[in-house]
Chains A and B, each alone.
Chain A
């Protein structure tokens, strides 16, 4: 059917018609495809550039929608970093009975140090404890009233990392310390750690769900914008169809528009995240310095950032594709 059509102008000697039939040959399709994409690329840029305010509004809405899960992700990432730091510490605080003397405490510490499952043992004498308490608690005036130092000697025991052991399980060391006659109280917050882990897992899920919902929202924003654009260009689309434009040719500029919206909103989202990082930077640095800078704030890296752009561009393209395919299928030239 097609070959007959293509050769027809040559059979009927219309010399002027040769060029038109030549362009339909498949060997030119690749170049035609490139020309079409170049056209769509520039004409779509011109279209969104012609309405800077409408474009900016759309892009800002989409950018905000993308920035929200991104910020939550960043928050979660940092809290996870902190909690990992805490879990690595694996510190066991051992309060000795008040009647244990300093030499006995030192002996007990030595006996612990030789154990294979103990990494470090730090002794905090009652005097050190009192000094620390004075400087940090703000009770220094109240403490002056005390006649004697009520604080016991405290051993801070760091358990040695045992890879075969479940990180959330209570080490056997804790139980043995608890049963020792010299020990008054052992503090090891396993339950608290487990709870934090559960909260973080929940947070991760919340970020995932939220990201999914907001991605859907972004898709709808792009779709609606492109739908309005298609409606306002109904006459033009009809004309193009009468000139012999294929469905793909008519649809392509709209897909590019979706792509630009997505890409620009990705940039907006990254800028917003950067702005939030800058705004919170000082306060965060202050907070972290109180942890002796054991933890560093981890910003959004290059790879996640470029991934955001790829995903947002894909969302824009897909949203435009959904709407354009549907509306142009219905469209009949007037």
Chain B
């Protein structure tokens, strides 16, 4: 599903975020990317979403070399990826329903089907009764769940999340991670960048550890406390 081949990313400032990074993720896997802040977690996700381009090496997604994707093709690639952000990036002047419906609107789905799918996604994150609310009236955890509903509503084959639990307490964080795990169970590939080692250990999924832009570990911890 995802294949990084000797990827180096150097920003215009000269800062090298990733160095000679190679790994592969199978379809249907759930993988955590961890490391200290500035280790290159976000850059890795940005290369997948074509927000950044690698300086050297290649990134392939679903068999397609992203280096060959032209500017015009970027939206199509992104429509195949559900993205969850630490700061949610909700559209504050629109209701919860409209936020979640946005990817389907972009894909051009008919309105009735959109409504059905949005309610299903909101039901999954437990916010069905808040569909008319303004995002600003929701708590941080609820906002993040709206963000997740938006990421999964179009049923993308790949879900990526950048520090999705960064601002949440441990209980909420666990709930969020359970949602991602559920999504993996129905067949999607899930990639989560986080520095919450405690959480990672509990989930028992594959972990990629980055340090100063290099891959220093790739392991699957035994499930604890399960």
Does A33 lie at the interface of the complex (its beta carbon under 8 Å from any beta carbon of B)? yes
Does A114 lie at the interface of the complex (its beta carbon under 8 Å from any beta carbon of B)? no
* Complex CA distance for A39 and B105, rounded to whole angstroms: 8
Does B145 lie at the interface of the complex (its beta carbon under 8 Å from any beta carbon of A)? no
- The answer to whether B108 and A244 touch across the interface, beta carbons within 8 angstroms, is no
Of residues 115 to 167 in B, which have CB atoms within 8 Å of A's CB atoms? Answer: 117, 150, 154-157
- The answer to whether A1 and B73 touch across the interface, beta carbons within 8 angstroms, is yes
Does A28 lie at the interface of the complex (its beta carbon under 8 Å from any beta carbon of B)? yes
Cβ–Cβ < 8 Å partners of A24 in chain B: 76, 79, 107
- The answer to whether B187 and A245 touch across the interface, beta carbons within 8 angstroms, is no
Does B80 lie at the interface of the complex (its beta carbon under 8 Å from any beta carbon of A)? yes
- The answer to whether A242 and B109 touch across the interface, beta carbons within 8 angstroms, is no
Of residues 48 to 66 in A, which have CB atoms within 8 Å of B's CB atoms? Answer: 50
Q: How many A-B residue pairs have CB under 8 A?
A: 129
Cβ–Cβ < 8 Å partners of A245 in chain B: 75, 106
Does A145 lie at the interface of the complex (its beta carbon under 8 Å from any beta carbon of B)? no
- The answer to whether B155 and A240 touch across the interface, beta carbons within 8 angstroms, is no
Does A283 lie at the interface of the complex (its beta carbon under 8 Å from any beta carbon of B)? no
* Complex CA distance for A21 and B111, rounded to whole angstroms: 18
Contact A8/B62 with A2-B73, A17-B187, A20-B80 known, Cβ cut-off 8 Å: yes
Does A209 lie at the interface of the complex (its beta carbon under 8 Å from any beta carbon of B)? no
- The answer to whether B155 and A18 touch across the interface, beta carbons within 8 angstroms, is yes
Residue of B nearest to A30 (CB): B108
Q: How far is the CB of B136 from chain A (nearest CB, A)?
A: 14
- The answer to whether B83 and A5 touch across the interface, beta carbons within 8 angstroms, is no
* Complex CA distance for A18 and B107, rounded to whole angstroms: 13
Of residues 18 to 66 in B, which have CB atoms within 8 Å of A's CB atoms? Answer: 27-28, 49, 51, 62-64
- The answer to whether B27 and A36 touch across the interface, beta carbons within 8 angstroms, is no
Residue of A nearest to B101 (CB): A39
Does B199 lie at the interface of the complex (its beta carbon under 8 Å from any beta carbon of A)? no
* Complex CA distance for A15 and B157, rounded to whole angstroms: 9
Q: How far is the CB of B30 from chain A (nearest CB, A)?
A: 13
* Complex CA distance for A190 and B105, rounded to whole angstroms: 70
* Complex CA distance for A241 and B72, rounded to whole angstroms: 12
Cβ–Cβ < 8 Å partners of B79 in chain A: 20, 24, 243-244
Cβ–Cβ < 8 Å partners of B14 in chain A: none
Indicate with 1 or 0, residue by residue over A18-53, a CB within 8 angstroms of chain B CB atoms.
111101100011011101100100000000001000
Cβ–Cβ < 8 Å partners of B117 in chain A: 19
Does A246 lie at the interface of the complex (its beta carbon under 8 Å from any beta carbon of B)? yes
* Complex CA distance for A5 and B156, rounded to whole angstroms: 12
* Complex CA distance for A124 and B89, rounded to whole angstroms: 90
Contact A12/B64 with A20-B79, A20-B154 known, Cβ cut-off 8 Å: no
- The answer to whether A9 and B75 touch across the interface, beta carbons within 8 angstroms, is no
Contact A8/B75 with A50-B93, A239-B91, A244-B106 known, Cβ cut-off 8 Å: no
A sample of 5 cross-chain residue pairs with beta-carbon separation below 8 angstroms, ordered by A number, consists of A1-B64, A235-B89, A236-B91, A239-B89, A242-B49
Q: Name A residues whose Cβ lies closer than 8 Å to a Cβ of B.
A: 1-2, 4-5, 8-9, 11-21, 23-24, 28-29, 31-33, 35-36, 39, 50, 235-236, 238-247, 249, 332-333
Known pairs A1-B68, A5-B62, A33-B108; list 14 more (Cβ under 8 Å): A5-B64, A8-B157, A12-B62, A12-B157, A16-B186, A17-B80, A20-B79, A24-B76, A28-B108, A241-B75, A241-B78, A242-B49, A242-B51, A249-B106
Q: Name B residues whose Cβ lies closer than 8 Å to a Cβ of A.
A: 1, 27-28, 49, 51, 62-64, 68-69, 73, 75-81, 83, 89-91, 93, 102-111, 117, 150, 154-157, 186-189
